[in-house]
Structure 1
Amino acid sequence: MWDRRRRAVRMVCLGALFLFLSPGGAEAGRVRGTVVDRAGKPAAGALVWAAKLSFLEARETQEATADGSGAFDIEVGPGDWLVFALRGDEGGRGGWGSIAKVGDGKDPAPVAIRLGAPTRFKGRLLDAETGDPVTQGRFALDDARLLEVDAQGRFEAPGLDLTNHEAYPLCPGFERKRILFDTTGRPDAELELRLPKAGKIVGRVLDEDGKPIAGASVGLRTSGSIFSGSALWEKCSADGRYSYDGKPFGRTGRLAARAPGYQDQEREDVVALDAAVPTEINFTLRPDPRKGSTATAKTVAKALNRRTVSGTIVDSDRKPVAGAVVRWDLLVSSDSVPETNSDAEGAFRLENVPDAANVLSVMAKGLAPAFPPVESGGDLQVTVELKRGVTIRGRVVDEEGKPIEGVRVVPQIDNPKPNWAGFVYLDTLQAETDRDGKFTLEGMPENVRCDVVAEGRSAARQRPLSPSDESKNEVVLLGGGAIRGRVVDPLGNPVKNFRVQVGIPKNAKPGDPVGGYFAGYGGTGLAFTRNDGEFTISGLTAGNIHRLTVIAENFGAGVAERVESQSLGRLKPADDLTIRLGVGHTLRVRVIREKGKVVEGARVTIIQNEGRGGFQWGYSDSSWDDSVTAQANAMGWAEFPNLAFGKGTVVVRAKGFSRTRLEWVNDEEEVDIFVEPESRLAGTVLDESGKPVSGSRIMLSWGNGEMMNILVDEKDGRFLADELGSGKYSLNVIPSAGPALYSGSVDLEPGKTVTEEIRVKRPTPAAARERK
């Protein structure tokens, strides 16, 4: 996902997290700088706004107007800020090296912005059912702008970068859905979008005493752009109430609550079924032991089964290592990951970390990293030895052999946890190329690989580097990758509105260059509106091969296999790649109950997941897979007259009935789905002393790989699962960390509620001990 840093910070972008989301101080500061036009002259009167790089929070911006000399001065709060500017149709932003870091009473260095060529992006929002304009709302862009929608459903964004973008529509009564689009090569790009109707979630966010929490917010955790993603979060009112509009009908999904000084809480069982009656979901947050007073922290930490891990960092000569980064687990640095630095004596102390087996990540410049295991069982002291690593030197150049300055070289190693797959980034030990394109990595372990990443270029990922032969370490970075093509209907006529999904070819061979793009490309796809059916997809890795699937209303999907992306400056003509759509698929789903009666109003969703196996309610039915939802009529039929795909998963939700799914694999045109009166599972999860186990959840599994998670109330240990079918379920109590606390089973009958009173035994903390 680093490929896309040139235009927006991605929430799960590793580089973004460890470079930009550093904790700020408590003092406000000023972001200053200048704006010039393309000729380098002062851009007097330019609108300038600073957007805060705040992860999982509502949008925060401050703005000012450039004076006659192009200078601007914006007062902002503590944190990291990215600066944008606009004059007329010309837009620009500060570079990634000029992130304004405000805190500790110091103002950041001045930010210089040069405006680009004029562009004007135009859009229109329509009701997916009626085709009528969506007459009110806003369109949240990934440059932190909120565009107003007029009475005709239209909006405009002057000065938008010519690249790939992410946005969210915020329109009352309509789905708050991710929109990916690409304006590469189109300064006058247009986009027409059809929005499905959606429901509303309401409730309150309170503390354990039932009081509202200042600064609380409710939203959806997901990857993507921080700035457009901020549209997924709503602030609570003074009495703790919130209203979250835009939840898709009939699809179980997640919703989270968070507040300063408190632990986040996430629900996975949130569903909207009735347009007239909002679904009520309430949250109870517990204090975060890492953010309270010492006395409070100790009390809360004990209740949450937390502990302190401390010790000393030494080198191979047993001398203390000062300034080493010590981090809990293998996560990259952010303000949500427990992390500290060793002092002059090599000592460190990590407080309020989970009392569960895990590893520490220990890194220091010039020394090889270490990942010592830590056992559960209370407070623990460890001594960690960092051995000497090797030094690796190399050079990064472009296609013409010219050096590239400012390239990040981020080392990675295989996952050091026993029996774990994947890899781990050594973010603290990364390097950056100088003006000659040269870089030096110190303290490297054996078998290290690197991701080589530069703005506007295709990344080189997992590149092996030689510690002994510098000549083997010249890395060539191609320009940013893209694909250009054209979409036509079955008769060969251009298609105006369509989406393109990007995936791995079905016939991919071992060693084929695949991947290297934002994950949303694969499910959501990129939306295009063009009379000539042409599209350009940027944000790819040049030279990689892809499977393109095109989806358009009233047509069957069109597919192109093994499509190679080229450098942006060397794109082939659109007519070299023509994707022809097929005939649409038809499906009618009838929802019936006992005695053959129909269920009017049931929500039926078709998910294009092609029978991957397994189904987790709250995840599989709210993922990025393409989907479409309809409501059953008075005869019990939900009609899908023109589907782009002919197989997937059919999900049925109806209030008071069992949630049901069916694998649609043979392109049938009609199916019946039986639902029965809902079974309910209620009860409590308490420890030996009758207290709730903080952070625990119920995991139910049944049938052919179906499962769901149920939150256990933090205050009284109660839980409730509804809309279940009859049958035998496996039931496990899962704590916030560590193995299951309870495993059992339960039998449910139609229309009945079963109550389970579960007592679990907490892990017994052992006395603090020394392990070297």
Structure 2
Amino acid sequence: MRWSLLLAGCTLILLCAAAVAQDESNPAVKHVPEFPRVLEGQIVDDQKQPIAGAVLKWGPRYPWNRKKLIEAQTDDNGEFRIETDYVGSQFSLQISAKGCCSTWGHNIVPGPKSNPTEMNISLAKDNPLTIHAVNENGRPAPGLTVVPLTPSNGVFSSFSSPTTPEQIPGHDEPVVTDENGVCRLEQLIPGPEPLQSIEQEEQRAKFNNAGWLRLNFMRDEDVVHYHQISRIEYHASHGDVTVVIPNRTLEYADDASVSTLHLQVIDTDGNPVPNYQATLRHRAQTWPVNNPEGRLAIENLRASYRCQIRAFAVGYAPHSEYGVANQTSENNPVVITLQPHEPLRVRLVDAKTRAPVANVNVLTGVFRQRQRNYIEWSSFDEYADGHHSLEDVCRHTSDANGMLHVPEGIHPASLVIYHRGFSRRVILPVNRPEPDSDGVIEIPLQREAVIRGRIPEGSQFRELTDSISLSFQSNDGVDHMYERVDLDDKGEFEIHSLEGGSYHVTLMHSEGNVTYSCWSRKFEIEPGAATELEPGKLTGNFVFAGRTEPFTRVALTPTHHVEVSHLAVVSDVDGYFRIEGLQRGQFKAAMGVDSLNGRILRMNPKVPAVIDLNGDQFIDYRAEEGETLPFFLSN
């Protein structure tokens, strides 16, 4: 089977081997792919002349999932050969050469050694750019590392997200702006399409302003600014692009404008409040204050950054003000005036012994969402004002008597409790127990429930699963978003500090920027007990197998009442998939390849919506020639 592609001056020809079927009509026979897999071919320039010394790199396309890339170079005839046991759905082949535009192929499936995948690639002539980095005053911005990437297009929504920028091949060595703020970028992607002058103004603007190339400007491995070159800017620049870097960004990058913010907290009579806690919006750090004048100096802040400071004092309502560090001083601090207000008094006790529980870390805050409130347990230590639907965020630790004194105002605080040995709890104001005669609310803490489990060697989900996810059917009015827990080398896991109740335990599979469930089942967890699980276990006798495109997700959802609510596997490098241990019944079926942004599953229209499984079954879902094009070349 042959594919020929011409994209922006780059030509790709693929000869993909069809693996020999191993009695594919018999589900009892497991398909074993042939390894190593092989890519070979020739790299030529736009004049069809072989390119010697072109660099090719094979491996995962996203750096956070990237093991050591396999690297090869073309010989004097421009030919190359890569042998690998390392394949996957999110892999790419990067190609770069001096004097040429860089490119890379995605969704490439190397053929077996007996019938390699052949790739003949033509690289377009290089179109270098000269970059002038200047500040807002037009002065040069030297010493910035400039990293070219693919553009990020799209928007966040319930069904989409922006495309992830990828570093362009051939840019392993840093390119730094000189004393004049100038650098030259070579081996970029081919230039964008010509501008359009179509009648519809909105469509014309959308096309012409689409991103062509993204530039990250970095200092000490931190991105201090980015600029996306649009089609219209590229054609207007004639290869000479000026990028304006905000002054405050350059100042911060140079650490030349770091300052101290001065704060004073007083009451409504103008008297200093000596004991309080201060926080900054979007920062989890807390500054405890014990100063007779109610003063605090917060150091090492960006001088020109306008930040929100909030003060919490027992006996007063929390309050915030805004301040800019370089506009404050000891004689001119930001002043926060606190209004008197009764605090929330809480005593934490062991639910079984009724003894006080000391040294419990408690997060307090106000949920402002009317329709959906949630707590993300993996971010417990990072919660701050404005983070994950919480405002007025403050941290407390129970004393030797289990007591907490929580400052609150007209908006009552919720309590978020996470302490090893006890179950996690979220207590909304409407769920508070009635206070005693001293005005103290007593909150009993249940001993933790623990989930332990192991996916045994040989399980069809062992190699596929890399982590465990939980969902909890809570009745406290809050969605509990539990952290994913990675499996250890033995396939074991443990999740602690749980309360008793109904949980869905889900086995998760990740590759690149795509994560999805491959097995899910509901379990009842006893309060205060350790529960041993066998996730991935199926007790039926039937096999559902088949063949489709390589690295395709195949998902089944039982429509009949069974313990397991969801199943999914990924077809192998030859497109074979297999699910064992199924029971007789009806299943909703879905099959497709996850889109590049990892949010949408493109479905195969040939897959029936429902499958009636009455015995072992093998189904061939391969598309006919010409219906799909699983490989493509990026420009």
TM-score relative to the length of structure 1: 0.45
2:130 is aligned to 393
Separation of aligned partners in 2, 1:673 and 1:307: 61
- Across the two proteins, how many residue pairs are aligned to each other? 438
**Per-residue deviation at 1:597?**
6.1
Match of 1:436 among 180, 197, 214: 180
**Which secondary structure state, in structure 2, belongs to the residue aligned with residue 480 of structure 1?**
helix
Cα distance in 1 between the residues matched to 2:510 and 2:484: 13
Match of 1:623 in 2: 382
**Structure 2 unaligned regions, length at least 5:** 1-31, 193-211, 253-257, 385-392, 474-478, 539-567, 577-629
Quick check: 1:414 aligned with 2:151? yes
Alpha-carbon offset, residue 733 of structure 1: 1.1
Contact 1:485 1:574 in 2 (8 A): no
Q: Check whether the contact 1:603–1:629 (CA below 8 A) recurs between aligned residues.
A: no
How far apart in 2 are the matches of 1:577 and 1:616? 35
Contact 1:588/1:670, CA 8 A, preserved across alignment: yes
Structure 1 distance, partners of 2:336, 2:123, is 58
Structure 1 residue 433, shift from structure 2 partner: 1.8
| Residue 532 to residue 322, structure 1, CA distance change in 2 (3 Å) | farther
Give the deviation of 1:728 after TM superposition: 1.7
SS at match of 1:409: strand
Are 1:589 and 2:364 counterparts? no
Does residue 1:559 correspond to 2:320, yes or no?
A: yes
Deviation at 1:374, TM superposition (A): 2.6
Tell me if the contact between 1:646 and 1:666 (Cα under 8 Å) persists in the aligned partners.
no
Instruction: Go from structure 1 to structure 2 and tell me whether the alpha carbon gap of 1:756 and 1:314 turns closer, same or farther (over 3 Å shift).
Output: same
> What is the distance in 1 between the residues matched to 2:56 and 2:287?
40
1:591–1:731 distance in 2 versus 1, CA, 3 Å? same
The answer to whether 1:705 aligns with 2:435 is: no
Partner of 1:165: none
Cα deviation, residue 747, structure 1: 1.9
- C-alpha displacement at 1:448, in angstroms? 1.7
**Percent same amino acid among aligned pairs?**
14
Residue 684 of structure 1 deviates from its aligned partner by: 3.2
In structure 1, the partner of 2:266 is 490
8 Å contact kept, 1:311–1:382: yes
Q: Secondary structure of 2:142's match?
A: coil
Match of 2:417 in 1: 651
Aligned match of 1:726: 500
Rate the CA distance shift 1:323–1:560 in 2: closer, same or farther, 3 A: farther
Superposed displacement of residue 651, structure 1: 0.9
Residue 105 of structure 2 is matched in structure 1 by 372
Please show how residues 567-582 of structure 1 align to structure 2 within 5 Å: 578-580=334-336, 582=338
Q: What is the distance in 1 between the residues matched to 2:403 and 2:412? A: 16
Letter in 1 for 2:354: V
Q: Is 1:452 aligned to 2:217, yes or no?
A: yes
Aligned to 2:237: 469
User: Cα distance, 1:662 vs. partner?
Assistant: 2.6
Specify the code of the residue in structure 1 equivalent to 2:57. V
Corresponding letter in the other structure for 2:184: T
Q: 2:518 aligns with which of 719, 729, 741?
A: 741
User: Which whole-Å CA distance do the structure 1 matches of 2:118 and 2:405 have between them?
Assistant: 61
Distance 1:354 1:608, change over 3 A: farther
Larger relative contact order, structure 1 or 2 (CA cutoff 8 Å, min sep 6): 2
Distance 1:576 1:601, change over 3 A: closer
The residue type paired with residue 440 of structure 1 is R
Does the CA-based 8 Å contact 2:446-2:527 persist in structure 1? yes
3-state SS of paired residue (1:747) = strand
How far, CA to CA, are the matches of 2:309 and 2:278 in structure 1? Answer: 6
Unpaired runs of 5+ in structure 1? 1-302, 504-520
The answer on whether the counterparts of 2:261 and 2:324 sit within 8 Å (CA) in structure 1 is: no
Alignment-derived partner of residue 374 in structure 2: 614
The alpha carbon displacement at 1:364 in A equals 5.5
After TM superposition, give the deviation of residue 723 of structure 1 in Å: 4.1
Name the residue aligned to 1:601.
Answer: 357
Contact (CA 8 Å) 2:266, 2:272: kept in 1 or not? no
1:486-565 mapped onto 2 (5 Å cutoff):
486-491=262-267, 502-503=280-281, 522-524=283-285, 533=295, 535=297, 540=302, 546-551=306-311, 558-561=319-322
Does residue 439 of structure 2 align to residue 686 of structure 1? Answer: no
Supply the AA of the counterpart residue of 2:523.
V
Is this contact kept in 1: 2:265–2:272, CA < 8 A? yes
Alpha-carbon distance in 1 for matches of 2:290, 2:101:
51
Tell me, yes or no, if the aligned pair for 1:646 and 1:665 is still in contact at 8 Å: no
SS in 1 for 2:150: strand
Q: Distance in 2 between matches of 1:528 and 1:362?
A: 58
Normalised to the residue count of structure 2, the TM-score between the two structures is 0.54
Structure 1 counterpart SS, 2:427? strand
- Per-residue deviation at 1:439? 2.0
Describe how 1:260-409 pairs up with structure 2 within 5 A.
310=39, 314=43, 317=46, 319-320=50-51, 322-324=53-55, 326=57, 328-332=59-63, 337-345=67-75, 347=80, 349=82, 351=84, 353=86, 355-359=88-92, 367-370=100-103, 372-374=105-107, 381=117, 383=119, 387-388=124-125, 390-398=127-135, 401-409=138-146
Cα pair 1:487 1:495 within 8 Å, conserved? no
Structure 1 residue matching 2:283: 3-state secondary structure: helix
In the other structure, the counterpart of 1:37 is none
- Distance verdict in 2 for CA 1:344–1:713, change over 3 Å: closer
Give the drift of 1:586: 3.0
Q: Which residue identity does 2:362 align to in structure 1?
A: I
Cα distance in 2 for partners of 1:320, 1:458 equals 34
